C-alpha cells in the first residue's frame, strides 16, 4: 500500500520529459527554458521535503501523504488548461515537489513496520514504485503525442493521481493510520540531545557528496532523453515512448533485484551496483546512439535509477542513531535538490552551446564513475544500529 503511493511521483517525474517536443511546438519555449524549469523542479523538492517533514510532526505521516498526492493531481490536471509557460513552470514545480513531501512520510511509515534486516529491500521497492507511473505515462504519450493531443495525457495522469489519493485515504482510514501520532512517537523514540555532524565525519562528507551527485547525475539523462531521440536522432514518437516504457518496466523489477542485494550483501554493494549501471548507460549512448544501444542504455539506467534513492537512507540508518540520521538525510535532501537543479541547468547549457545532447550523457558517465569510487570508500554499515 505504501509503495503504491509512490506511483504518483512517477507521473510528475516522467510525463514532462517525454512530452517536451510536443509542448515546445505548441507553447514555444526553448531548451534553455527546459533546463531552467526542470532544475527548479528539483530545487522545489527541497522545500517540499522540509514541508513534508514539518507536516509529519504536526498532522501525521498518513495525512501528509494524502495531502501531497491530492495536490499533485490537482497540479497535473491544471497544466494543460493554461497556455502560459510561466504558470506551467510553477505547476510543474509544485507537482514535482510533492514527490518529496510524499516520499518523506512514506519513509516514516515504512520504517515503523519493517525490521532492520529487511529495510533495504523495502526501501528499494518503495523507491522503485514510481516506475509504474513511468510505464503508464509512456503508454499515454504513445497514444496522444505527435498528434496535437498531448493535453489529454496530462488530464488522464492527473485524474489517475486524484483517484489514487482518494483510494489511499480510504485504505489509511480502514487500517487506522490516521490515528497514529507519528511526531510524538518519533520524538519519544529518539530521545533528547542535539546530534553532531562532526561525529560522523569523514563518511558523512562522502554521503553529502553522493546526495549531490544523486540529484545532478540521473535527471538530465531523463530530461533530455525524448528530445535527444526524436529531434537529434530522428527516431519516432513510438520508439521514444517504447523506450520510456522499458525504463518503467525494468524499474519495477529493479526494486526487487537491488533490494535483494541490499538485504543480503549490504546497501554499499547495492549502491555500487546502481552507479555501475549509470556508468554503463552513459557510455553506451556516447559510443553509439543506435536503437539497439539506446535500448540497452535505458535498461541499465533504470536498473539503478529507482532503487538508488532508497539506498542512501538505508545506509545512513545503519551508521547513525535516528536523530543524527534525520539531520544527515535532511542535508542530503537539500544537496540532492541543488544537484538536480545544477544538472538540468548545465544539461540545457551543453545542448545550447554544442548543439548536441551527446555531452550530457558523457557527463552522466563521468559522474557515475565518481560516485562509484566514493561508494567504495564508504565504511561498512553497522546493522546493529536500531531506531
Look at residues 183, 179, 178, 156 and name the one whose alpha carbon lies nearest to residue 168.
Answer: 178
Quick one: pLDDT at residue 140?
75
C-alpha cell at 201: 565525519
Query: On the CB side of 60, how many CA atoms lie within 13 Å of its CA?
Result: 13
**Whether the Cβ atoms of residue 211 and residue 6 lie closer than 8 Å to each other:** no
**Whether the Cβ atoms of residue 66 and residue 109 lie closer than 8 Å to each other:** no
- The residue ranges of the chain whose pLDDT is under 70 are 1-14, 104, 107-125, 127-131, 145-148, 179-199, 321-323, 325-327, 330, 382-387
- Cα–Cα distance for residue pair 124/314, rounded to 1 Å: 9
**Whether the Cβ atoms of residue 92 and residue 79 lie closer than 8 Å to each other:** yes
**Whether the Cβ atoms of residue 186 and residue 108 lie closer than 8 Å to each other:** yes
- Cα–Cα distance for residue pair 164/170, rounded to 1 Å: 10
Task: Summarize pLDDT for 63-119 with one digit per residue, the tens.
Answer: 888 898 889 889 888 988 887 888 888 888 888 888 777 776 776 666 666 666 666
Quick one: pLDDT at residue 386?
46
Global pTM value: 0.71
Which residues, in sequence order, are CB contacts of 179 under 8 Å at separation 6+?
A: none
Which residues, in sequence order, are CB contacts of 330 under 8 Å at separation 6+?
A: 49, 50, 53
C-alpha cell at 272: 555500487
Quick one: pLDDT at residue 189?
38
Quick one: pLDDT at residue 185?
44
Name the DSSP class of 232.
I
Quick one: pLDDT at residue 376?
93
The DSSP-derived string for 166-191 is: HHHHHHHHHHTGGG--HHHHHHHHH-
Distances (CA, A) of 372 to 178, 283, 311: 40, 15, 14
Quick one: pLDDT at residue 229?
87
Amino acid at each position: 500500500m505504501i509503495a503504491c503511493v509512490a506511483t504518483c511521483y512517477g507521473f510528475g517525474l516522467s510525463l514532462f520529459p517525454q512530452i517536451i517536443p510536443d509542448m515546445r511546438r505548441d507553447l514555444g519555449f526553448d531548451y534553455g527554458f527546459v533546463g531552467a524549469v526542470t532544475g527548479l523542479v528539483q530545487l522545489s523538492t527541497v522545500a517540499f521535503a522540509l514541508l513534508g517533514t514539518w507536516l509529519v510532526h504536526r498532522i501525521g505521516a498518513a495525512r501528509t501523504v494524502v495531502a501531497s498526492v491530492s495536490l499533485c493531481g490537482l497540479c497535473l490536471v491544471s497544466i494543460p488548461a493554461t497556455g502560459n509557460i510561466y504558470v506551467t513552470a510553477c505547476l510543474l514545480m509544485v507537482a514535482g515537489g510533492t514527490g518529496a513531501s510524499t516520499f518523506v512520510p512514506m519513509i516514516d511509515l515504512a520504517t515503523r513496520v519493517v525490521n532492520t534486516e529487511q529495510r533495504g529491500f523495502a526501501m528499494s521497492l518503495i523507491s522503485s514504485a514510481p516506475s509504474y507511473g513511468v510505464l503508464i505515462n509512456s503508454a499515454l504519450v504513445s497514444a496522444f503525442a505527435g498528434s496535437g493531443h498531448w493535453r489529454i495525457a496530462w488530464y488522464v495522469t492527473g485524474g489517475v493521481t486524484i483517484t489514487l489519493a482518494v483510494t489511499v485515504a480510504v485504505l489509511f482510514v480502514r487500517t487506522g493510520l490516521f490515528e497514529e501520532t507519528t511526531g510524538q512517537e518519533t520524538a519519544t523514540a529518539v530521545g533528547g540531545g542535539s546530534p553532531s555532524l562532526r561525529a560522523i565525519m569523514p563518511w558523512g562528507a562522502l554521503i553529502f557528496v553522493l546526495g549531490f551527485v544523486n540529484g545532478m547525475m540521473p535527471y538530465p539523462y531523463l530530461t533530455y532523453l525524448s528530445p535527444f531521440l526524436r529531434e537529434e536522432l530522428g527516431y519516432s514518437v513510438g520508439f521514444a515512448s517504447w523506450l520510456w516504457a522499458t525504463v518503467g518496466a525494468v524499474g519495477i523489477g529493479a526494486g526487487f533485484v537491488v533490494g535483494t542485494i541490499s538485504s543480503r550483501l549490504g546497501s554499499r554493494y547495492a549502491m555500487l551496483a546502481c552507479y555501475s549501471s549509470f556508468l554503463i548507460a552513459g557510455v553506451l549512448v556516447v559510443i553509439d546512439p543506435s536503437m539497439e544501444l539506446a535500448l540497452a542504455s535505458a535498461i541499465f539506467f533504470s536498473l539503478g535509477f529507482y532503487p538508488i534513492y532508497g539506498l542512501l537512507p538505508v545506509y545512513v540508518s545503519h551508521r547513525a542513531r535516528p536523530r543524527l540520521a534525520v539531520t544527515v538525510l535532511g542535508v542530503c535532501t537539500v544537496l540532492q535538490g541543488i544537484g538536480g537543479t545544477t544538472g538540468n541547468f548545465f544539461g540545457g547549457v551543453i545542448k545550447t552551446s554544442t548543439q548536441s545532447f551527446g555531452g550530457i550523457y558523457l557527463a552522466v558517465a563521468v559522474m557515475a564513475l565518481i560516485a562509484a569510487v566514493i561508494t567504495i570508500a564508504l565504511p561498512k554499515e553497522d546493522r546493529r544500529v536500531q531506531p
